[in-house]
Amino acid sequence: MPEDRKTPQLDDLEKGPWPSFVTEMKRAAEKNPAAGDLLGLLEKSYEDNTGHWKHGGIVGVRGYGGGVIGRYTDMPEEFPHLKEFHTMRLNQPSGWFYTTDSLREICDIWEKHGSGLTNFHGSTGDIILLGTKTAELQPTFDEYSDAGYDLGGSGSDLRSPSCCVGPARCEHACYDTLDMCYDITNEFQDELHRPMWPYKFKIKMSGCANDCVSAVARADCSVIGTWRDTIIIDQEQVKAYAESGLDIQREVCFKCPTQALEYNAETKELTVIPEDCSRCMHCINMMPKAIQTGKEKGATILLGGKSTIVKSAFLSWVIVPFMKMEPPYTEFKDLINRIWDWWDENGKTRERLGELIYRVGMGTFLREVGLPPVPQMVFRPRANPYVFWQEEEINK
């Protein structure tokens, strides 16, 4: 950006205790003119109260239809280094685990080819490399690929799957979220790199009902860890919690959504009514030393989650109450392939899976994908009797 261009509004955002993205942009600007232009462009946006990026054109790397988001400023004369300023998405390692060597490698390659600015991470989960020219895309990709990194998804494809920290650290993990995420991502590389569907598809994997990757809100297919048997209670530890001052009756039992817990304040014993427990994780969260998940572990599969555009935000809903989730995840892969085939066949342009099921009805979806209807799919049955009957069900 021009030497004399000041950024008083952005400068103000360097003050205050929270780490400042403006400081970061300035750090990058010291070494890279595109980052410098970006500061100027953002200041202009702050002056104009409007964005200055055009719709992206189609740019990419050989063999892929996604992974790169084209970006061009609408003010190329004033900010020439932003004439082309594309984003590359790098598929992150499961659980966002890194060694410092791997992070430095990512930084070194980016320094050579791009603005030096990144997002750790984007909302889907990828590492975002923010800003490079069209001519740099292929060389950048080539260097990352040689170093063992690949692009993530973008466009009407499988977006990069993501998962919670899982059994790497969390005692609640009901299946290996990290391994499943890695396995699924590798299995479906074609679907991820070459957009061929009505619209995007996201798979997210959480190890338990706490859902730390917000799978239920953000994924067309949410895999949420659960168990089929009963929670395990260690009464010695329950006593220890009681003695430490935890009000078990009020903080744990009263808050059980299905009133499945009973606490005897005299004997300091906590018991569960097994068939009443809905496995919501609250009591386990409150007393992690005393209560564990059950032993027969697996996952619930929910479908349909998405953001607001177009038909409103959807939360995923239960499709398979319990599926064992162990490598090589054959049952899951078989199901997801049937779902994709059906959605691809029936979905309109830019129609998400949840919107399609809503449009044609669960009955049609279940029959055509081959899934049994179960009451766990609904909070409650329909309140209207407008039922469709199939030919074969009618007396002729």
Partner 1 sequence: MAKIDIGPPDYRKNLHPVIEENYGQWKYHEKVKPGVLKHVAQSGAELFSIRVGSPRLVSIDFIRDICALADEYCQGYLRFTSRNNIEFLTGDASQVEPLIEALKAKGLPVGGTGRALTNIVHTQGWVHCHTPATDASGIVKAVMDDLYEYFGRDDLPAKLKISLACCLNMCGAVHCSDVAIVGVHRTAPVVNHEIIQKGTEIPSLVASCPTGAIRPDPKNKSVAVKEEKCMYCGNCYTMSPGMQIMDPKNDGVAIMVGGKVSNARSAPSFSRLVIPFLPNNPPRWPEVTEAVRNIVETWLKHARSGERMGEWIERIGWERFFTLTNIPFSEKCIDDYIFSRETFRTTAAFKY
Residues 195-214 touching partner 1, rule: CB under 8 A, are: 209-214
Name which of 204, 201, 159, 203 is nearest 66 in CA terms: 159
- DSSP per position, 362-388: HHHHHHHHT----GGG-SS--SS----
Q: How far is CA 225 from the centre of its chain?
A: 15
338 is a site residue for partner 1 (CB under 8 A): no
Binders in 70-109 for partner 1, by CB under 8 A: 71, 85, 87, 91-104, 106-107
Q: Do residues 258 and 276 make contact, with C-beta atoms less than 8 angstroms apart?
A: yes
Binders in 115-134 for partner 1, by CB under 8 A: 116-125, 130-131
DSSP state of 264: E
- Cβ-Cβ contacts under 8 Å for 139 (sequence gap 6 or more): 113
CB of 149 to partner 1, least distance (A): 6
Sort residue 268 into left (φ over 0), alpha (ψ -120 to 50) or beta.
Answer: left
Binders in 300-319 for partner 1, by CB under 8 A: 307-313, 315
- DSSP per position, 191-241: HHHS--SSS-B-EEEESSTT-TT-HHHH-SEEEEEEESS--EE-HHHHHHH
Q: Which one of residues 6, 80, 111, 324 is an interface residue with partner 1 (CB under 8 A)?
A: 111
Q: Which one of residues 81, 133, 218, 352 is an interface residue with partner 1 (CB under 8 A)?
A: 218
Contact pattern for partner 1 over residues 354 through 373, marking x by CB under 8 A: --------------------
Our CB check for partner 1 shows the closer of 45 and 364 to be 45
Our CB check for partner 1 shows the closer of 230 and 285 to be 285
Q: Do residues 132 and 88 make contact, with C-beta atoms less than 8 angstroms apart?
A: yes
Q: Do residues 217 and 305 make contact, with C-beta atoms less than 8 angstroms apart?
A: yes
42 is a site residue for partner 1 (CB under 8 A): yes
Q: Which one of residues 34, 36, 37, 38 is an interface residue with partner 1 (CB under 8 A)?
A: 38
255 is a site residue for partner 1 (CB under 8 A): yes
Q: Which one of residues 50, 244, 330, 384 is an interface residue with partner 1 (CB under 8 A)?
A: 50
How many residues form the binding site for partner 1 (CB under 8 A)? 124
Q: Do residues 119 and 82 make contact, with C-beta atoms less than 8 angstroms apart?
A: no
Binders in 132-191 for partner 1, by CB under 8 A: 141-143, 145-146, 148-150, 160, 162, 164-165, 167-171, 173, 176, 178, 182, 185-186, 189-190
112 is a site residue for partner 1 (CB under 8 A): no
Binding region for partner 1 (CB under 8 A) out of 52-60, 324-332, 368-376, 388-396: 52-60
45 is a site residue for partner 1 (CB under 8 A): yes
